[in-house]
Structure 1
C-alpha cells in the first residue's frame, strides 16, 4: 500500500532567493525574485526592462535582458539552465520575433530542454516591453 503524506501549509518551508542587485524588488515591491518551496523555485516574471529601468527597442536585447535576470536568480540559488523545468514566455508581436527568441533560447537553455509555452499578450505594465518570462525550476 502506498502512503501519501500531507503537510499543512504552515509546515512548508518557503525561502526567498534575492540576488543583491534585486534587493529593491523585494523591499519596494514586496515580492521575491525567486521563491523556493520543497525544491521547486518559482521566479517572478522578468521582462525586457533592465534593473536600471532601461528598455531597449530591440527585441533581441529585451529577450537577453529577461534571460539575464532569470539566470541571476538561478545563480543566486546555486542553479542554472539544467534546473529549469518550465518556461512560459509572454510576447507582444510574437510572430515578429519568434525566430529571434528561438535562437536565443537555443543559446541559453540546455538539454534536457524544459517545457515551453509562448503566449501573445496585449500589453505589459512597462511601456515598450515585448517579452516577459515566467520560469519554474527544481533543485
Structure 2
C-alpha cells in the first residue's frame, strides 16, 4: 500500500483526476492503532495535506452508490454489490476481465487507455503478496 500511495503522491497534481481510492487507503491504514510504520504515517500526512481534505470516493458501477474502503480485498456498496479489489492499485475491479495470481488468489485489473502512464506501470507489476506473475 505504501508503494501505491507513494506513486499517487508523486504523480497527482490535480487531485480530481486520481482514480486510486487514496483517501480510503489512508484512512484504512490509519485506523489500526497498532500500525507502527513511521514512513507510512509521514507519507499519509503529506497526502492529506496535498488532497486538502477533499474526498474522491469510488462508485459502484451498478447502483452509483459509494464504495467505502473498509477492506483491502473487496469493496461492498450499501446495496450489497460486492467487487474484488485490485491487488496492485486497490481499486474495485468492476469489469469482467482481470488478471489473477495463481498462488494467492488475488486479482489485478487490466490497464485501460485512459489510465495515466504511472498507473499502467503499477499494473504491470507482480502480485504484491507473493511476487508471482499475474495471469
TM-score when scaled to structure 1?
Answer: 0.25
Q: Which has the larger radius of gyration?
A: 1
Structure showing greater relative contact order (alpha-carbon pairs closer than 8 Å, 6 or more residues apart): 1
In proportion to residue count, which structure has more strand? 1
